[in-house]
Structure 1
Amino acid sequence: MAVSLDTVARAAGLGPSTLYRHFPTREDLMEAVLDSLLSPVRATVAEAEGLDDPAAAFRHVFARSCVLPAAEVRAIGAIAASSDRLSAYAQVMIEELIEPVTQRAQASGCLHPGLTAADIAFFVRMVDIADSADRRSTAVDVLLRGILL
């Protein structure tokens, strides 16, 4: 269902000019929504930076990224699927978030060589589509056993 930016502005209690000043296009607005939806992953990455063990840091980010609430995962997927620009934006954001912990794990020798942040982001998306918490947990366990050395 398409909703006009004027309708969004009214619902937010803003004038259309205020909304358009900050978000000139619908895609600009949706990028901001994606930023907001991915803030829990950003917080998880910040927590992992404080862990001394690179494998534990990687495990923390991977496992926590795979258990976002189902509604948020659906929202991220729907927004990303709405345009090529938003799909690319979501992919880049996720890769940039997990790149440091991925590189740190590889540098320490605890992550399977050759895996990239794009690979890890794909694995997270694979887990996110599981239809129950039990299946997500099983998928996280199996994937971590396969990618961590």
Structure 2
Amino acid sequence: MRLELTLPASLRGQTVMLDALEAVEGSQQTKALLRPILEIVTRAVSSGIQQEFFDNFERYANEENLPRQGIGAVTVALDLPESDLDAVRGDLLDVAVAGSERIWQTVSDGEAAATFEVICDILDEGLTPIDQQALLDANLADLAG
């Protein structure tokens, strides 16, 4: 599955989504799939090395000097293994709801809560890149309006 999203710049450097992932109940497999994606967002990892970062997360997890994206929105573009997604479908929905609620309760960050939930929903439903961005944009617009 291809994950392609442009996320709010406000998520750069914010660990709230990662903190929520660690705090909620969910399988290790689900968390292992989401953790590198959320790290890419938090650290605004350059699109040129995102796939390598995702595929070899254990090697890069503590690397401090990874190339970063320029100022502004954070773009994520990854090919995710279908077998990994199939193994965590269903659990992703529980993690989405619990993580989003946790973010609202701890820091009241609507953008982060919506983004966390939408990423999980996209992975669970296997949406196309066009539908992915539309879902995120609609959720963020609901917050603003």
Normalising by the smaller structure, the TM-score range is 0.3 to 0.5
Higher Rg of the two aligned structures: 1
Q: Which has the higher contact order (CA 8 A, sep 6+)?
A: 2
TM-score, structure 2 normalization = 0.38
More strand by share: 2
TM-score, structure 1 normalization = 0.37
More helix by share: 1
